[in-house]
Structure 1
Amino acid sequence: MTRSTPLLALNWKMNKTPSEARAWAADLASALVPGRAELAVLAPAIDLPALAEGLPAGVAYGGQDVSQHEAGAYTGEISTAMLRDLGATYVIVGHSERREYHSETDAVVAAKARQAQAGGLTPIVCVGERLDVRERGEHVNFTLDQLRASTDGVGENLIVAYEPVWAIGTGRTATADDAEEMAAAIRRALAGLYTADAAGFRILYGGSVKPDNIASICARPNVNGALVGGASLKVADVLGMNDALR
């Protein structure tokens, strides 16, 4: 898929058992009419076999996190090879919840992204500011500093998701102008970090995305899709977002 194809990266977070994932996939397969968007389900690793069996053709899937290590004595962690063996193509790294609740640093995020790429996965690298940073007017510099550190040594095969922490799961959504401001700044920063044409990078917005606001956000020239949380859990909402991007 190209940058011009919007990506809906559906982050289930810690929701759905394998049997629930199987039912969700069946419901999606029975009703999805392929549209302009690409869909990718980012699910708990235990759900991936059920998704592999039941998702409709053309819908990708992947993990919500990956180890920075290739293999070894790292109890509880999941390697790139494990995800790839299940057919995963994407993985989220550096989500704000991992940064906050598991104290992941930018260096750890970059190490995970490098490991993901080495094993054939496309990392979705998350960056974004807290409310206090935005209120001080420091959101652009903060997020770009985080981006540079979180992509240290990371190759060009990546997606960047801008997720203002103050808009995640709060019902408060950044405006389309807010999303575009940061996406444009991120694209300019990527132009300085990589030799590839910055126009080719996908930049997603994440934070309380729903069927009724996704079209206006993704209509902006530098926003190439969305990292969707709560609205990814109901098939009806996913269908609504897909239809909104036709």
Structure 2
Amino acid sequence: MRLLLLSTSTLHGEDYLAYALPTIAGHLPSGGRVAFVPYALADRDAYTARAATALASVGITVQGVHRASDPRAVVDAADAIFVGGGNTFRLLRALQRTGLLATIGDRVRDGVPYVGSSAGTNVACPTIRTTNDMPITEPAGLTALGLVPFQINAHYVDADPASTHMGETREERLEQFLEDNDVPVLGMREGAWLEVTETTARLGGVSGSRLLRRGAEPVELPPGADMRDLLEVSTRYDT
């Protein structure tokens, strides 16, 4: 497998994908054709056009799967797969209904490069239980692609010590997840990404991440950190 999992598609003040574009270009086959999955947003045409414009600058052709009578055929014919961000519940429901959940999983495990951003990163995990999104739609279960054996929290934000907000912090919410599930959670801040093969996993990007495990103190991780140990974890849900 070859995965590039981005916490976000856009950094503040920058164009879409700009901060990660060189890495994306290196991850995708030169001159290749990418199946773009825009189901996480409602305006799928506009979203696909945005991705196509960004990737055209590095010689990549984009085809939106939503325009095909059989989206699975687009994925089967593509040189790479890019699953865009938006609402993770909306995305997963569409992947289930189109049959793409199984098709994408099969192709990626056969070696087709995968790029996920935000919601597209969330669905690379075993489940979408650590997404930040509101369940605006109801998928048929929370099981996702399972391309990595651990959970990711995209858009991870640290608590602001100066804030008067009395609600739960992101870390507290993830600790609640760990009370019922014994699965490592990688909190990826804006600008972080994770590159994964079957035997390697390494953080990249312009910001660090935070690893949370049941019964352990969170660990700070800088860009460049070797995360291969996460590929060997045993996981237990609803424990």
Structure with the higher strand share, 1 or 2: 2
Normalised to the residue count of structure 2, the TM-score between the two structures is 0.36
Normalised to the residue count of structure 1, the TM-score between the two structures is 0.35
Structure with the higher helix share, 1 or 2: 1
